């Protein structure tokens, strides 16, 4: 039983212990079993993205439209909320733990169990908080269902579907974490972004599928194939030389959707992240008892992985959601101070991208056409500015990049502190594995001092690097409108997944290594 000095969250333990959960395996899970579970969960994920919410009207708005790649969801399906509630719950728990509002020692199994149970309860709460405002504002029930069961029950049915889908995602993440390979959240993000990149690159269907497929020297933009490669091929072979010199290059390289510069930007980000993932500091290790047994402990440049960018993007998605609700929701827009306040965020009718206020300045800069082209050639591209002046666009770029960098650094530090990746925790892991740094005593305090030279500094660099890279990728633009953050995450996730598979195979062949990697 906890004493009076222990966290008040222990009072929630009787409730959190009764929440549905995936049982942790009692022993070692074979590699083939892990691969099977991972593939099954991935198939289930894609299946859920294709199940449309029952009873929903065609008059609907996706307020997370600009964050679909990050939230690993699919509009108006069971995966409509995606991983949003999970990531938001994680953000809140990390902030409270880092600020010492929640006093838990995550190195203790009891406190860590309470932390995870509370986070699960918070995820359930966030599902309701994110689902209810959307159903009451933007996910309108179909008239036929309203006539059958009434408006109240129609909304309840849609909320129940969103709740079931989101909680299934949470349980699927647990299955992958405990019985599969890697992280379920990361797997879902990579799957969704990869699908968007694939379709954005080779989709031959016109952007306006109902437009006639006429061949002409100045074919309208709406009739072009939506994919980068088919659009490029079509323009080259079907536009005469005079029009090609005037409009062809612009249509291929700059014209939305999926311009060639977006595909090139996606490829460049891929190589940058791949190089950064291979950059590391390696501390030499030697076994204290087995002579000749040596190894290395890698401290990556991207030490905090891509988690800080996921958390930062989820935070901005929630800012976008709530400012949109307070601006246009029939009830919330009437609240004093917050309701319909342009300083928080203003939106054009039917749009989900903010046009003014704080929400505008922290919103994603989506491609060069939103900032670079109008600034370089205002006569030709000034229409992309809309009602904004040049100084507003410049401030938007500066604020967005700053928020991404600073926010990612803060979340990187919180993530390292709450996932046993700090100097003290790593020192204990090395000592428990029987390894030590040659030339130093086998003392966790000595190891901690050595690690403190590297880990805190690399953590800050890691957070700033991924935040800056994601922001710059957004500014360049990405194919499939996946966002720079989505591409950054997917490349890092795929590299980590490849390494995880290699490590699992190595542990399968050499069981003695399981202790070093923290497995049974």
pLDDT tens digits, one per residue of 473-520: 888 888 887 888 788 888 888 888 888 888 887 777 766 555 555 555
Tokens of 48: 């859920």
Rounded to whole angstroms, the Cα distance separating 355 from 91 reads: 27
| pLDDT, mean of residues 254-258 | 80
Mean pLDDT of 387-414: 91
User: 18: part of which helix (H) or strand (E)?
Assistant: none
Instruction: Please report the pLDDT score of residue 2 as a whole number.
Output: 46
Tell me what pLDDT residue 471 has: 92
In terms of Cβ atoms closer than 10 Å to its own Cβ (0-12, 13-18, 19+), residue 488 is: buried
As a whole number, mean pLDDT of residues 394-409 equals: 94
* 260, 232 contact by CB (below 8 A): yes
8 Å CB contact between 514 and 28? yes
Q: Report the pLDDT averaged over residues 435-453.
A: 76
For residue 322, what pLDDT is reported? 87
Q: Which residues of 384-403 are buried (b: 16+ CB within 10 A; e: fewer)?
A: bbeebeeeebeebbebbbeb
CATH topology of domain 8-14+30-203+259-514: Preprotein translocase SecY subunit (1.10.3370)
Q: How far, in Å, CA of 392 to CA of 123, rounded?
A: 37
Rounded CA-CA distance 490/447 in Å is: 33
Beta strand segments in 210-263, E: none
Does the pTM of the predicted model rise above 0.75? yes
Residues in CB range of 354: below 8 A, 6 or more apart:
320, 323, 324, 345, 346, 347, 360, 363
> CA 243, 379, 346, 158: dihedral to nearest 10 degrees?
10
Cα–Cα distance between 139 and 137 in angstroms, integer? 6
pLDDT at position 514 is 55
Determine the pLDDT at residue 240.
Answer: 77
Q: Phi and psi dihedrals of 272, rounded to 5?
A: -65, -45
Six-digit token string for 329: 């929701």
Please check whether residue 290 is in contact with residue 479, taking contact to mean a CB–CB distance below 8 angstroms: no
The Cα-based distances of 42 to 30, 45, 174, 226 in angstroms read 19, 5, 13, 27
Average per-residue pLDDT for the chain = 82
Of 351 and 380, the one with more pLDDT: 351
- Nearest to residue 501, comparing CAs of 191, 173, 41, 181? 181
- Roughly how many angstroms between the first and final C-alpha of the chain, as a whole number? 28
The answer to which of 1-5, 59-63, 337-341, 474-478 has the lowest mean pLDDT is 1-5
Q: Give yes or no for residue 99 having a pLDDT over 80.
A: no
Q: Which of 152-156, 168-172, 425-429 has the lowest mean pLDDT?
A: 425-429
Non-local (6+) Cβ contacts of 377 within 8 A are: none
Per-domain residue ranges for the chain?
8-14+30-203+259-514
Predicted confidence band at 172 (pLDDT cuts at 50, 70, 90)?
very high
Distance between CA atoms of residues 363 and 359, nearest Å? 6
């Amino acid at each position: 039983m906890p004493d009076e000095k222990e966290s008040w969250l222990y009072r929630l333990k009787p409730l959190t212990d009764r929440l549905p959960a995936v049982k942790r395996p009692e022993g070692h899970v074979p590699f083939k079993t892990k691969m099977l579970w991972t593939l099954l969960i991935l198939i289930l994920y894609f299946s859920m993205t294709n199940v449309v919410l029952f009873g929903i009207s065609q008059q609907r708005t996706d307020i997370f439209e600009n964050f679909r790649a990050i939230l690993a969801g699919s509009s108006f399906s069971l995966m409509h909320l995606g991983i949003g509630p999970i990531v938001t719950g994680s953000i809140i728990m990390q902030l409270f733990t880092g600020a010492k509002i929640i006093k838990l020692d995550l190195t203790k199994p009891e406190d860590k169990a309470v932390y995870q149970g509370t986070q699960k309860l918070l995820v359930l709460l966030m599902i309701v908080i994110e689902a209810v405002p959307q159903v009451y504002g933007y996910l309108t029930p179909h008239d036929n269902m309203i006539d059958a069961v009434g408006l109240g029950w129609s909304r309840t049915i849609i909320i129940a579907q969103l709740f079931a889908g989101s909680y299934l995602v949470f349980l699927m993440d647990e299955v992958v974490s405990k019985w599969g390979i890697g992280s379920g959240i990361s797997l879902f993000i990579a799957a969704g972004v990869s699908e968007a990149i694939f379709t954005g690159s080779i989709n031959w269907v016109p952007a306006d599928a109902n437009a006639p497929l006429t061949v002409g020297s100045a074919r309208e933009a709406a009739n072009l194939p939506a994919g980068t490669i088919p659009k490029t091929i079509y323009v080259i072979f079907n536009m005469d030389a005079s029009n090609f010199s005037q409009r062809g290059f612009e249509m291929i390289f700059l014209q939305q959707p999926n311009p060639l510069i977006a595909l090139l930007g996606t490829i460049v980000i891929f190589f940058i992240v791949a190089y950064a993932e291979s950059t590391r500091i390696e501390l030499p290790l030697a076994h204290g008892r087995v002579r000749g047994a040596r190894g290395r402990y890698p401290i990556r440049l991207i030490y905090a992985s891509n988690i800080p960018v996921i958390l930062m993007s989820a935070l901005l998605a929630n800012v976008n959601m709530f400012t949109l609700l307070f601006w246009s929701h029939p009830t919330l827009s009437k609240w004093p101070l917050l309701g319909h306040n342009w300083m928080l965020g203003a939106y054009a009718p039917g749009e989900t991208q903010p046009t003014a206020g704080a929400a505008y300045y922290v919103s994603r800069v989506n491609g060069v056409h939103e900032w670079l082209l109008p600034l370089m050639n205002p006569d030709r591209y000034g229409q992309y500015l809309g009602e904004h002046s040049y100084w507003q666009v410049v401030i938007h770029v500066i604020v967005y990049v700053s928020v991404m960098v600073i926010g990612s650094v803060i979340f990187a530090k919180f993530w390292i502190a709450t996932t046993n990746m700090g100097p003290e925790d790593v020192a204990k892991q090395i000592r428990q594995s029987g390894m030590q740094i040659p030339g130093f005593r086998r003392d966790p305090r000595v190891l901690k001092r050595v690690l403190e030279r590297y880990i805190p500094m690399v953590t800050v660099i890691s957070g700033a690097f991924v935040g800056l890279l994601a922001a710059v990728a957004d500014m360049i633009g990405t194919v499939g409108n996946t966002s720079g953050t989505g591409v950054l995450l997917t490349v890092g996730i795929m590299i980590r997944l490849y390494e995880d598979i290699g490590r699992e195979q190595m542990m399968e062949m050499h069981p003695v290594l399981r202790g070093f990697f923290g497995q049974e």
